[in-house]
Every structure is written in C-alpha cells, then in structure tokens.
Amino acid sequence: MSDETSTRQPERVEPVREQPTPDGPEAAEPAPEGRERAGAFRFLRAILLPVLAILSAFVVGAFIIVLSDAQALGLIGTDPGAALGRAWSIVIDSYGALLRGSIGDPGRLFGALLALDWNGVKAAFNPLSETIVSATPLIFTGLSVALAFRVGLFNIGAEGQLYIGALLAVIVGFAITGLPWFIHAPLAVAAGFLGGALWGFVPGILKARTGAHEVIVTIMLNFVAYRTVDYALKTEFVQREGRNDPISKIVLESARLEPIIGGLRAHWGIAIAVAAVIFVWWLLFRSKWGFEFRAVGLNPRAARYAGISPSWATVMSMVIAGGLGGLAGASLMLGASHTLTPGFSPGYGFDGITVALVGATRPAGVLGAALLFGALRAGATPMEAATGTPRDLVVVIQALVILFIAAPALVRAIYRIRAERSLGTEVFARGWGS
Amino acid sequence: MTAIAAAPRSLTLAERRARTRQRVLGIIYLVTAAVMVVGFALPVGDVTSTFTLNLGGTAITVPDLVLPSAATGYLLAGAVAFAGAIQLTRGFGARWALVLGGVAAAFVFGFLVWVAAGQSMNLTGVLQSTLQRSVPIVFGALAGVLCERSGVVNIAIEGMLLTGAFVAAVVGSVTDNSWIGMIAAVLAGGLMAGILAVLAIRYRVDQIIAGFFINIFATGLTSFLAVRWLAPYQQELNRPEVLGAIPIPLLSEIPILGPILFRHNIFVYFLFVLIIVIHLGLFYTRWGLRVRAVGEHPKAADTVGIDVYFVRYRNVILGGMVAGLGGAFFTIGSTGGFEREMTAGRGFIGLAAMIFGGWNPIGSFLAGLVFGFADAVQSRLSILNIAIPSEFLLMVPYVVTIVVVAGLVGRTRAPAADGKPYVKE
C-alpha cells in the first residue's frame, strides 16, 4: 500500500472525525461560524455523557455517605428534619473537604497573596500540586489503556506494566552512578518504558500468535509482576543496605524528576505525561501506524484485506501501551517516591481503565479525566482527615463512574436523553470464546 | 516398515501442529528431567527425606515415609527422562494428558523430597492445608463455571467473594449466628451477580467492564464500610463465630485420607457437594444441556424455545451465590473478622482455576488444588528454611494459566458464546 492511499483513507474509515482541520476537503463545506458552532456543539455533546455520569456518581456517593452515617440514620425516626439537615451537612462537608484537598482554598490563596506571603501562596497551591502528582501516572496508564482500546484490545495489565516499569526505572536510577542528570534521568525513564513494553509484549505476542485472550493474560501478568517486585525487593542487589523490610535502594539525585517548583511535590513527570498525550494523539490520528491500529480495532478482517497485519498491530500496540504503563511506574519512582516498596501503587493501572473510558479513548479526554481522578485521589486523604468520611469513597465513586459510562443507556434513562447514533466506541472487547 | 508407509506424505496442518506439540512436550520433559537431576538430586548429600503421614487423632498410625533423598531424585528424574524420550520419538497418542500429569507429579514429588532432604515434613499436613487453601479458589472457580457456561464472562468473582466475606462477618456478628451470616453472604453474592447480569444481559455492557465495575465497587464499598462501621464497632459488628471443623464419623478415622478430606468445616463439605452437583447438573441433566446450549450457541437455543435471557440471569445469579458462599469462608470459615481487601486476589486465582480446569467443575477443583498446593508448600518453605523464593511458587497459578490459554501445552476452550451479548431478533 502506498503512502498516498493510506493518508487518504482515514476519511472513509473513521466513524467520527476528531476535529475539523483548517485545510483539506472540508474547506468548501459550511460557513466558518456554522462550523465553529457545530464543533462546539459536538464538543458539548461529547462531554455530556461523561459529565452526567460523573455527576450521577457523586449523587449516589452522597447517598452512600448518608446511608452509612449512623447519626443521620438514627435521627430519621425521631426527627426527620434534623436527619435531613445532618445528611446535607455531612455531604457538603465531605465533598467540600474533597474539593479543598484537591484544588485548594481560594480564601487562603487570596489571603496569602494580599499578605505577599510567598510560602503561603505555595502552601495554597499544594492541593493542586498533589492533584498533579496523582494525575501524572493516571495520564500514562489512561493512555496505555486507551491506545489498546483503539486496537480492539483490553489492557487490564497497566498495573503490572507499571510495576515492572517502576522496578527497572529504580534499578537504573540507583545502579548507574556518575552520569549527569540529563543522561541519567532520561535513561531511567527509558528503562521504565522498556520494562512496561516487555510486559505488554507478552500478551501482544500471545494474542497474535496463539489467540490467547489478552484480558486473561494481562490479569495473570499483573500478579506475576507483583510477585516479581516482591522477589526483587528481597535480593541483595535491589534491597536497601541494612534493611530487613522490602524496600529498594534510593534513586540517585541525578536520575530524579525534580519538582517544578521547589517545595511542591508536582514534578517534571507531568511534562513527560503531556508530551505522551501529544505523542499518542499524533500516533493514533496523524501517523500511518495509528491509522493501521485503528483500522484493526474497527474491523480486523477489513484491515487484513487492506494489507494491514492485525498481528503486527496487536503486538506493536501492546508494546507501546505497555511502555506507557511502564512510564507511569517510572514517573512514580523517579518523581514522587524515589524508592520502591511492595504495593506502592494504589491501583493507578486499574484507574487507567476508568480514565480511558471517561476520556472516550481520546488522548485529550484522557488528560482531562486523569486530572479529574487525580484530584479525587489527592483530595481523598485530606477528606478522611477532616471529616472522617473514609477515603474509599472515591473508589466507590470511581466504580459508579465506570458503571454510568459503560452503560450509557442507564444515564440516558435517568436524564431522558435521546439515544444518538452509536459511535462504535461503546463495545470494546469481545468475549474470550473466540 | 514397508515402502508404502515410508513414502513421504504431506501432512495436514493439524497433524503438523500435533507433531510440533509432541516434540515440544518431549523436549520440555527432558529439560524437566535435567532440572531435577541438577536441582534436586545432585545438591543433596547422603541424607534422607522424612515424610510424616500422621496428623494426630486417628486411631491407626502410619509409619513415616523415609526416602534416600538423592536416590529418589535420580529415580524420579530417570522416569521423567524416559517419558520424555518416548514422547519425543513416538508420542503417547491420546494418553498425553495422563503422562503430562505424571511428569508434573514426579517433578513436584522430587521437589518435595529435595525440600525435606535431611529434615522431616508433614506431608499429610501439607495436603490438608492444600485443600484448606483451595476452598475459596474452587468456590470462585465454580461461580465462574456457572456464569461462563451460560455465556456471561465473569471477572467479578473477586468482588463477589469480598462481598460475601463482608456480609457474612457483619450479619453473623449482628445475629450472633454464623449460619444466618452464611445465608446472608449467599444472598449478597447473588445480589452482586444480579447487578452483573442486568448490566451484561439487559444493558449489554461490555462484560469485562461490567465485571471490572463490580470488583472496584465491592472493594470500595466494603473498605468504606469497614472504616465507617466495623472499625468503631469492632466488637458488635465484626466478631462472628467461626464455624469449626466437623470431623465426619468413621471417614475421618481413615489414615492419611481422613485428616486430609474429612476433618474440615462445613464449607469444605458444601464444596464437595457443589462440585458433584454442578458436574452432574451440567453434563447429565436437561438443565445443563440448556445451559451449555445457551453458552455455545444462543441463537440455536432460542430457536428451540429455550429462554436465553432467563437461563443467563439464573446462572449468573446462581454463580454469584456460590461465590458469596466462598466469600463467607474468609470470615466465618477461617479467621473470623473482616479486613479490607482480605480476599487478596483469590477471586482471580479462581478465574485462573476455572480456565485451567477447562470451564469444568471437576477440572476447576483439580486446578484449584494445584494452586492451593503451591500456596501450602510456599508457606512451609519459610518454616523449613529453604532458600527458594516463595514468590516463584506464588506465581505458579498465573504462569500456568497463561501457558494454558496460549495453548503452549494443551489448550482449554471457552464456551463459544462466552462474553457475547445475545440480541433476540
């Protein structure tokens, strides 16, 4: 297939165009303002369901807060009014604390600005910085899952890829000495990518060669990854000197991703993450490989007929997806914790699935969704500290978001929205019978 | 050999594949034998391995099994090498699975002899804890079998186990009766499965995503409630009575087998019954024929008047109830109190056991035993001070499952319509 045909074909295969390009065939189509309005409308339409899904999840979450509160329940019998008041106040308190823990307190920020207290301003930005810290790995894992989705693959293994990526990044981070930072840090990041890529290659090649379902293989590989890390942390090479508990040596200064602003934890990993967003967008929608990936994802038979090898696309996309998962681990190790412990990830790999679904498998959507869920993660602990509402609430909310996103019919039924044409992105994986 | 038989004949694809697999297996056997010689027989000196077979309580005691460590190792390795040679040259035909099982058994026994070299190991104890550890895995696997045979993929076993564990602990504590806790756990598992069924069948949500939702939801909700309710009211809400072991009269007196099989709590006996009932039900009754028809070819089943949706709803919910019962084992069947995320991935090992067991109740049970055995041996290793990392034994279930789904050795096949929503025309 020549390059010329491959660049022209996306117009026909792709079900929804991402955005109108300024030049090209559409130039002769509707007037500029009309097109702009259509674009804005399409954007609103695209985010309508995710927004409603998130909203619904928070509403159900509020019910869970109230129904689990013994005091509010106890008041229902005696004083319904007070029960309602109590219910209202704990929900507002909890969600308020969640918001303050993830975005910050505007009052504090203004106060610090007026007092010209630089440290105060920094402290006011701390919640936002924590959100970015949590969002960074989520962007990577979200991209990992989203990329695989586009090729018709369900990558449940981002968590395992993250673990192996973290392991390799840490090893390169402490074992190689005497390098300047501009070589060492990229090297450690690359090691993370490589580790994840290896962990993605296995399900990819097995799927392509033997048809083994990637969901089963990636679930199993997650556990193999946990045990591998457990094992590595016991070896003399990785375990920190003089320690008996499983903890790795510390990543050297030269391999670290430094904080963007001193004193805040948000680190340069976010820049790599944003670059990854742009790269995946370019890969999927502007490169020949991406076209082939999406063609295989939409219809492997048609893709094969067009001369694209589905096996190749499967392996290659899983390698890249795995590598992105590995980058998540690398960013955690090199940017945030600088040392590896078992169970260091609170499920960022699995959150990646939620992020990819909420972001509708679009790179920009993934970025937005990752920031949202990063905010939830960042705000959860302060919320528990301030109000006593357990931080696991955000896990429940996240589950509900998945539910409402995955079952758009449910959301449509609740809000009485007319069903629109299927965008072809609602059903991703097939059963494992085939 | 006559000239006709020797004449070159082009092989069909299937034959070539079979031949490749035969050779691969043969090479694997030979490598296994080499590993056994180098790993198990050579390093041990002139010592013996002692296996205690008594676990106390039985009237008849059995003498200990004392084996010369190195000689036994060589003998087992020799047997495996012999099997490998035959496999490589002419193959075992239809009996390959039997031989594979034998080789695996020889390897495992050789490993145990090596572990116990110069020491003593209670083999009966290991086997008893094997069964103990495989209980939740097999419950999970049976839940998966029920769901997936009817064509609904269930990766939510973990969430259902966790729900069962939580509900059993709480209801068992509140009512002060663990039997009521057990029933509540069964119902709660069924409820979770009901959600999965509605999502998968009615709303045709991708079944993997639906299962994923159940897992996260169950994890989040049980952890949330554990902090909210159980932590402050530990005494009132999280102190269920543990259902103790019920030795079966007479049977539990049998040497070796008695302690292994018949001195457990009620969950293990329920498990035995369920395995038999589900096996007979699936393969020898009209009910099972319908279930399998729906799982393999729903359209055909629909055409002959089977209500596909009803069969699927029923089976998914039944599966959830089985998983709920298995979950109850974690609390009222073993440790008592609920702890957050206490199932620790057992549901996924159950999923692995179901796949390894070929979507079969008995196969799942055997697979669960294999995984439980790896777990039991792993926990003994630290006591015996063996330098092998227990992590590798813990990886066994996952690696075995990957090998099986990839068809590298033998292949199991999922029901044809597993995971595909059915749309009635």
DSSP A385-403: HHH---TTHHHHHHHHHHH
CB contacts, 8 Å: B410 with chain A: none
Which of B345, B394, B406 shows the shortest C-beta gap to A212? B406
Q: How far is B233 from chain A (nearest CA, A)?
A: 11
Task: Measure CA A307 to chain center.
Answer: 33
Interface test with A, best of B20, B212, B409 (most A CBs within 10 A): B212
CB contacts, 8 Å: B338 with chain A: none
Residue B144: which of B282, B268, B270 has the closest Cα? Answer: B282
Interface test with A, best of B203, B204, B208, B229 (most A CBs within 10 A): B208
Q: Which two tokens stand for residue B269?
A: 């006996």
Q: What is the pLDDT of residue A373?
A: 92
Q: How far is A36 from chain B (nearest CA, A)?
A: 34
Which positions 286-345 of B are in contact with A (Cβ < 8 Å)?
A: 340, 345
Q: What is the DSSP string of A108-169?
A: HHHHHHHTT-HHHHHHHHHHHHHHHHHHHHHHHHHHHHHHHHHTT---TTHHHHHHHHHHHH
Does A55 reach chain B within 8 Å, measured CB to CB?
Answer: no
Does A94 reach chain B within 8 Å, measured CB to CB?
Answer: no
- Work out the mean pLDDT of chain A and round it to a whole number: 83
Task: Measure CA A389 to chain center.
Answer: 25
Q: CB–CB of A219 and B203 under 8 A?
A: no
Residue B108: which of B374, B400, B330, B420 has the closest Cα? Answer: B374
Q: How far is B213 from chain A (nearest CA, A)?
A: 5
Q: CB–CB of A213 and B406 under 8 A?
A: no
Counting every residue written for chain B, the total comes to 425
Q: Residues in chain B with pLDDT < 70?
A: 1-11, 56-59, 385-388, 408-412
Quote the radius of gyration of chain B (alpha carbons, Å): 24
CB contacts, 8 Å: B402 with chain A: 202, 206, 212, 216-217, 220-221
**Complex ipTM tops 0.85:** no
Task: Name the pLDDT band for A4 (thresholds 50, 70, 90).
Answer: very low
Q: Do B36 and B74 form a contact (C-beta atoms < 8 A)? A: no
Q: Which helix (H) or strand (E) holds B366?
A: helix B361-384
Q: What is the pLDDT of residue A334?
A: 93
Residues 6+ apart with CB under 8 A from A77: none
**Is beta strand B245-247 parallel, antiparallel or unpaired with respect to B48-52?**
unpaired
Q: Do A298 and A305 form a contact (C-beta atoms < 8 A)? A: no
B92 vs A179, residue with greater confidence: A179
Quote the radius of gyration of chain A (alpha carbons, Å): 23
Does B74 reach chain A within 8 Å, measured CB to CB?
Answer: no
The most distant pair of C-alpha atoms in chain B lies apart, rounded to whole Å, by 85
Q: What is the pLDDT of residue B235?
A: 82
Residue A219: which of A162, A171, A155, A300 has the closest Cα? Answer: A155
Task: Name the pLDDT band for A143 (thresholds 50, 70, 90).
Answer: very high
Residues A142, A147, A150, A156, CA torsion sign: negative
Determine the angle formed by the axes of helices A118-150 and A106-114, rounding to 10 degrees.
Answer: 140
Q: What is the pLDDT of residue A134?
A: 92
Residues B39-69 pLDDT 10s: 888 877 778 888 877 776 666 777 778 888 8
Residues B214, B219, B220, B222, CA torsion sign: positive
Q: CB–CB of A231 and B392 under 8 A?
A: yes
CB contacts, 8 Å: B416 with chain A: 433
B341: region left, alpha or beta (phi > 0 left; psi from -120 to 50 alpha): left
Residue A303: which of A285, A291, A318 has the closest Cα? Answer: A291
Cα(B55)–Cα(B38) distance, integer angstroms? 33
CB contacts, 8 Å: B407 with chain A: 210-212
How far apart are the two ends of chain B, measured CA to CA in Å?
59
Which positions 202-241 of B are in contact with A (Cβ < 8 Å)?
A: 203-210, 212-213, 216-217, 219-221, 223-225, 227-229
Q: CB–CB of A212 and B213 under 8 A?
A: no
CB contacts, 8 Å: B406 with chain A: 206, 209-210, 212, 217
Q: Which two tokens stand for residue B90?
A: 């002419």
pLDDT at A3 over 50: no
Q: What is the DSSP string of A57-99?
A: HHHHHHHHHHHT-HHHHHHHHH-HHHHHHHHHHHHHHHHHHHH
Number of C-beta neighbours around residue B271 at 10 A? 24
Q: Which residue of A has its CA nearest to B233?
A: A70
Q: Report the SS3 class of residue B52.
A: strand
Q: Do A268 and A262 form a contact (C-beta atoms < 8 A)? A: no
Q: What is the mean pLDDT of residues A357-378?
A: 91
Q: What is the pLDDT of residue B420?
A: 82
Task: Name the pLDDT band for A11 (thresholds 50, 70, 90).
Answer: very low
Q: CB–CB of B401 and A216 under 8 A?
A: yes
Interface test with B, best of A222, A234, A403, A428 (most B CBs within 10 A): A403
Does B392 reach chain A within 8 Å, measured CB to CB?
Answer: yes
Q: What is the pLDDT of residue A14?
A: 38
Q: What is the mean pLDDT of residues A183-208?
A: 94
Q: CB–CB of B209 and A402 under 8 A?
A: yes
Cα(B315)–Cα(B145) distance, integer angstroms? 9
CB contacts, 8 Å: A231 with chain B: 389, 391-392
Does A353 reach chain B within 8 Å, measured CB to CB?
Answer: yes
Cα(A272)–Cα(B6) distance, integer angstroms? 64
What type of residue is A162? L
Residues A14-67 pLDDT 10s: 344 444 444 434 334 444 555 566 677 777 777 788 888 889 999 999 988 888
Which of A68, A211, A212 shows the shortest C-beta gap to B228? A68
Q: What is the pLDDT of residue B15?
A: 74
Partners of B66 in the beta sheet? B50
A184 vs B67, residue with greater confidence: A184
Residues B217, B222, B224, B229, CA torsion sign: positive
Q: CB–CB of B414 and A433 under 8 A?
A: yes
Residues A321-366 pLDDT 10s: 999 999 999 999 999 889 999 988 888 998 999 899 888 889 999 9
Q: Which residue of A has its CA nearest to B196?
A: A403
C-alpha triplet A76, A80, A84: angle, nearest 5°: 95
Q: What is the mean pLDDT of residues A217-246?
A: 90
Which range among A3-12, A190-199, B167-176 shows the weakest confidence by mean pLDDT? A3-12
Block residue for tokens 């993660």: A377
Q: What is the pLDDT of residue B387?
A: 64
Q: What is the pLDDT of residue A145?
A: 94
Which positions 130-189 of A are in contact with B (Cβ < 8 Å)?
A: 154, 156
**Is beta strand B120-122 parallel, antiparallel or unpaired with respect to B263-265?**
unpaired
Does A45 reach chain B within 8 Å, measured CB to CB?
Answer: no
What type of residue is B191? L
Q: CB–CB of B420 and A433 under 8 A?
A: yes
CB contacts, 8 Å: A215 with chain B: 155, 208
Q: What is the DSSP string of A156-225?
A: TTHHHHHHHHHHHHHHHHHH--S--HHHHHHHHHHHHHHHHHHHHHHHHHHHHHH---HHHHHHHHHHHH
Which of B199, B210, B352 shows the shortest C-beta gap to A220? B352
Q: Do A64 and A87 form a contact (C-beta atoms < 8 A)? A: no
Counting every residue written for chain A, the total comes to 434
